[in-house]
Every structure is written in C-alpha cells, then in structure tokens.
A and B are shown apart, each in its own frame.
Chain A
Amino acid sequence: MACSIVVSGISVRFDSAKILDGVKFRVKKGEVLGILGPNGSGKTTLLRCIARSVRPVSGRIVVFGRPTEEYTSEEYSKVVSAMLPSWPGGFSMKAYEIVLMGCRNRSRGLWWEGEEEMKAAEEALRLLGALDLSDRDFDTLSSGEQRKVLIAKSLAQRTDVILLDEPTAYLDLKHKFEVMNLIRALAELGKTILVSLHELELVSYCDKLLVLKGGKIVAAGKPDEVLSEKLLEEVYGVKAHVRWDRSLNYPLIVPKVPKEGTICPRSISKGNFLGS
C-alpha cells in the first residue's frame, strides 16, 4: 500500500541541544503509529515537524508524495491536521467556535461560517461525545474536556493525516478508551494517524510503534515485537515484567517490586527528615 508519510533522516536542534537526530520512518495509509518515549525524548517535536511548526535542520518529510514545504498553508491544512499542546487560552470563545475554526480550511464564506461547516463541527463534537460541551466557554472546561474539544477541532478539518499529541492525557478511563476506539475507527476509514502516548497499556490500539529516546529511534515495529523488558529498562530505566497476552492481544506490564532495602536511596534513610 502507498505510504502517506515518509520521514527521511530529520534532525532538529534548539540552540545547541539535539532534539531529534536522524529520525526516519514510513507510515502507510490507514495505519495508527504510536510514538512512545520518556519526557523530552522528542515525541512532540517530531509531530510538530510533520505539522510544519518546526523546520528540521536536515532531512525531509514527504506527505502523499510531496515534500511538506511545497504545500501552501491552505493545501496542507486539508491534508494534515494536528492536535498539539500549547493551545492558548485567555480569550472567551465557546467550545463549538473552537471546533468551527477547524473548518476554516474548506470554508468558502469570507465573514461567517456556513451551515455545512456547522454540521461538520457538530458531527466532530458528537464523535467525541462532547456535544453537550458545545455552548460552554472553552476556558471554563476541565483539561480533559478541553482535550476532547481540541481533538474534535482536528477532526473537523477532515484531513487524511491526523497528528495527536497525547490525546489521552487528562482523560478518565472511559474517555481514554473511547478516544482510542475512535482512532481505530478513523484508521479503518483510511485515515493515517500518528499518536504520541504515555500509557503503555494503550499500545494495542496501534498498528506500529516508534520508540524514541534522546531524539533517536531505539525501536520500531509491531507492538508485541517492540514492547519488551529490555526496552523498558533501556528507554524508561524501569524494571518490569512484560507479558504479551495473545488471547487479549494486550500487554501486561507489572513492575518488579524491589526487595526490601534496595529501593531506598541514601537520602531517605533513618535520621534525615523523610525517614523519621
């Protein structure tokens, strides 16, 4: 099948720090790619590169056969939508008005949004189960509710590629599963979805995983091949048992509880202020 996104050897530097270093991978149409990695490993920067917010110092990104820099903003907004962090607050706007902003890319109206756009916004909010939030002031919503509205905004753009940066952060268990189910359903409709995740138990929703550490890819492949005890120790520095349950198609990750006396760092010992 054709590749939606081909990333070839991109590197990003902020001042002297290397944020991404020679990252290369491909994503096929209709695939869900999960991006894992500890804080500061470059997950968000990678998504921002594909969203064209960050320009890599080397390498290039090709989306549907065309290098990203050849698209105009309007063309690109019809192909790739992104839900990235740092959404600004502090101005009063209703949730549905935020979602309507996602419809700007196909809008023909100069001044007002049309009925078609309203329908698209309504549909997007309904898919997220957030229709009841539509008339609420965006700033007064909880973090989880804001997350849902912002995902709806990305859906309202009706693009073939969707980039989601930690879409499940702040969400409760029910909504986490609902969002991941929605991602699966969208992939089945032929959308290509790149999603960064912190919750390892959600990787079974992904077709492929990409694991980053220090801006480099340390592992890539199918979830059950990638996720291993060695990887968790290498990437996150944690010791855990990892079992892939074939019947559930689900990873079971259980921390290895250290033996008594081995976990206690020297600073927490009897006599100092934490250890009474």
Chain B
Amino acid sequence: MWIDWKRKRLRLAVYLTLLSLSLSLALMISLMIGSYALSPSQILEALFHPKDPVARNIVLNYRLPRTLLASLTGFVLGVSGGVIQTLTRNPLADPYITGTASGAALGATIALLTPSLPLFAVPFFAFAGGLLAVLLSLVLAKKARAGPIGFILAGIAVGTFCSAVLMILLSLFSQQAHGILSWLYGSFSTSTWTKVKIVMPLSIPAVLYLLTKARDLNLLLLGEEHASQLGIEAGRLWKFMLAISSFAVSVCISFSGIIGFVGLVAPHMVRLMVSSDNRFVLPLGGLTGALVLLLSDDLVRSPVNPFGEIPVGAVTSMIGVPFFAYLLWKRGEKFGM
C-alpha cells in the first residue's frame, strides 16, 4: 500500500504533464490552421512582436478567442461530467442530466423567436433556462426524497417537458427553425473576446472549486449516510457541487450551444485508462474534454474539411466514439464508477 500511495502522486503528475503538453500542442495547431495557414513563428510574432497586421488580426481577433472558448468549454464539460456522474452515482449521467441542456435550448429558442431581442440576448436566455431547469429538478427531487435516482428522474421529467415545448415552438415557427437548429447543434464559429470575457471569469472559479473538492467527492460516492459519518457535511456539499457544476455548464453552453458526448465520455476515458479516483477523473477528465473539443473544432475549421461549418458536436462524436468503443472493447469489464 505504501508503494501504491507514493506512486499515485507521481502518476497524476505524469498524466497531468502529458495531457497539458498535448493541449498546448493542440492550442498551437489550432492557431495555425484555417483558411489562412500560419506557421508557428508567424503566430509567436503576431502574439509578441506584431509586424504583420493581417496575421495579428486573424490570430488575436478570430483564432485565439475561438480556441480559448472551445478548450474552456471542453474542460468545464469534462469536469462537470465527472462530478455529476459521482453525485448521481450513475455512470450514464452527463452534465445535461439535470435538464440543463433542454432548459437552455428552450431559453435560447424563446430569445431567437422574440423579434425585438438582439442576438446577444440568446446566451443569457439560454443560461437562465438552463439554471431554471436545474432548480426545478432540484425542487422536484427534494419533494420526492428518493435520493440520486429521484434527482435523475426529476431531471429527465423537466428535460422532456422543455424538449416538448421546444418541438412545438419549432414546428409553429418553422421559417426561423434554421437559426435555432444551428445553435442547438453547437458551434464556436462566432466566438469573440466579449464572450471569452464573460465565460472565463464565471466558469474558471466554478471549475476550480469543483477540483478542490475532488477528495470529498470520493466520499460522496459512498452515499450521504456513510459520507456524513466520515466527517463531511454531505448533504450540503452534494447540493453545492451540483449547483456549481450546473452553473459552469450553463455558462459555457449558453454561448457554444449544446455539445454532447464530451461530458459523458471524457471522465470515463480517465476511469478506464487511469483510475476512478476523482482526484484523477476531474483534472484529467477536464483536460481530455478540452483536448477532444479543441481538436474537433480544429477539424471543423480546417481547410481539409469539405463541408464548411458542420456542428462541432457531431465531429466530437465522430472522433470520440471510435476511441471510446475501442476502450470499451478492450477494458469493458472495468467500466463503472
């Protein structure tokens, strides 16, 4: 046990370094590719010794905010996915199980359908819709007093209701459906510094809070009764972590639209490959999510892609599913919490 205990830290450090290096590489690649290809030296020049105004404009005003937003969203989805799977003690849970996604989609749709509202109101409506859905699920679950399963059921109920309203709205206003659908599919094509400046200060502290609680999250895996006996305020921590992770997810998807798969699968990739200890799952899952989402978005933007702007969520699944299937194939017996 002593060897294992000492090796754990080393392993986390190694994996963190490896993933951080990969992510830095992906960030660099992400700044390089696009319809106007840039070399690494041109990018460094554009960032630190601007000479070429065109390159500087492309890097600073278009590629950098988009890259930051994509990786941040991936990180938040990866961490929140791990948190919510642990809180609900359900390996099939994802950050949207709380009804966040459907609530946000409904909010965004209402904003898009209201003619007098400017476009930048959409994310705020999405955010409000997502949070309202979570609160509603929480209230329902509290009334039901059925524990994590009650909460999942409440989330599904709220989510289904929002989706139903959304579908009715979509069929009633079919002319505007295209704009709504493109938001629903998720995209980083309209990333700007303004969005980065809103998302970063809200989601980074939230995610840092979640990361610092990774150890206590392991105790919550035992259920409220056992966790409280081990000395943590389990009930309060459970609610707090759920609220914070839903908040972070709502902030991110309100700008990017709904991106599936990352939040469900990134934590499982870590569990299958490294460890199911949340001190590994949360940070490594976050980095994996960031990496997957960033590379997917790069593929969307790359000149190799003949389809133009396709939904980034679809690409994420195209890249991630084969890899995940391979993991399940090889190590399926380890699948679980």
Footprint of B on A, CB under 8 Å? 48, 51-53, 72-74, 76-78, 80-82, 84, 86-88, 90-94, 96-97, 101-102, 104-105, 109-113, 118, 121-122, 134-135, 157
Contact = CB atoms under 8 A, between A and B. Distances in A.
B4 interface: yes
A73 B228 CA distance: 6
B214 interface: yes
B226 to A, nearest CB: 7
Given A53-B225, A111-B214, A91 B233 contact: no
A104 B219 contact: yes
A118 B225 contact: no
B223 A101 contact: no
Contacts of B11: none
Interface string B3-15: 0110011000000
Interface string B321-337: 00000000000001011
Given A90-B336, A91-B337, 9 more contacts: A52-B228, A77-B229, A88-B89, A88-B223, A91-B221, A91-B276, A91-B336, A111-B212, A121-B1
Contacts of A52: 228-229
A105 B230 contact: yes
25 contacts: A51-B229, A52-B229, A53-B229, A72-B233, A73-B231, A73-B233, A82-B229, A84-B225, A84-B229, A86-B225, A87-B226, A88-B89, A90-B337, A91-B336, A104-B215, A104-B231, A104-B232, A105-B230, A111-B212, A112-B9, A112-B279, A113-B5, A118-B2, A121-B1, A134-B1
Contact of B1 (A51, A102, A112, A122): A122
Interface in B209-225: 212, 214-216, 218-219, 221-223, 225
B215 A74 contact: no
A101 B218 contact: yes
* Interface size class of chain B, counting residues whose CB lies under 8 Å from the partner chain: 20 to 34
Interface of B: 1-2, 4-5, 8-9, 89, 212, 214-216, 218-219, 221-223, 225-226, 228-234, 276-277, 279, 334, 336-337
Contacts of A121: 1
Contact of B279 (A88, A111, A134): A111
3 nearest interchain CB pairs?
Answer: A77-B231, A105-B231, A91-B337
Please report whether the interface of chain B is mostly helix, strand, loop or mixed according to DSSP. Answer: helix
Nearest to A100: B5
Contacts of A135: 1, 4
A98 B234 CA distance: 17
Given A53-B225, A113-B5, A92 B276 contact: yes
A174 to B, nearest CB: 24
Contact of B219 (A84, A101, A122, A157): A101
A94 B89 CA distance: 18
A77 to B, nearest CB: 3
Contact of B230 (A53, A72, A101): A101
Nearest to A109: B215
Contacts of B89: 88
Nearest to A72: B233
B1 A157 contact: no
Given A96-B4, A111-B279, A118-B5, A74 B232 contact: yes
A94 B1 contact: yes
A156 to B, nearest CB: 10
A74 to B, nearest CB: 5
B4 A111 contact: no
B223 A157 contact: no
A91 B279 CA distance: 14
Contacts of B221: 88, 91
Contacts of A96: 1, 4-5
A110 B215 contact: yes
B234 A73 contact: yes
Given A87-B222, A111-B215, A104 B276 contact: no
Nearest to A131: B1
A88 B222 contact: yes
A195 B277 CA distance: 32
Contacts of B215: 104, 109-112
B6 to A, nearest CB: 9
* Most-contacted residue by chain A among B214, B228, B229, B234 (CB, 10 A): B229
Contacts of B1: 94, 96, 118, 121-122, 134-135
A73 B225 CA distance: 11
A162 to B, nearest CB: 12
A48 B226 CA distance: 11
A81 B231 CA distance: 10
A121 B230 CA distance: 14
A94 B218 CA distance: 13
A51 B5 CA distance: 30
A245 B28 CA distance: 83
A74 B231 contact: yes
Contacts of B231: 73-74, 76-78, 104-105, 157
Nearest to B223: A88
A82 B337 CA distance: 24
Contact of A81 (B2, B219, B229, B232): B229
Nearest to A105: B231
Contacts of B226: 84, 87-88
A92 B277 CA distance: 9
Nearest to A87: B226
Given A91-B276, A135-B1, A102 B230 contact: yes
Contacts of B336: 90-92
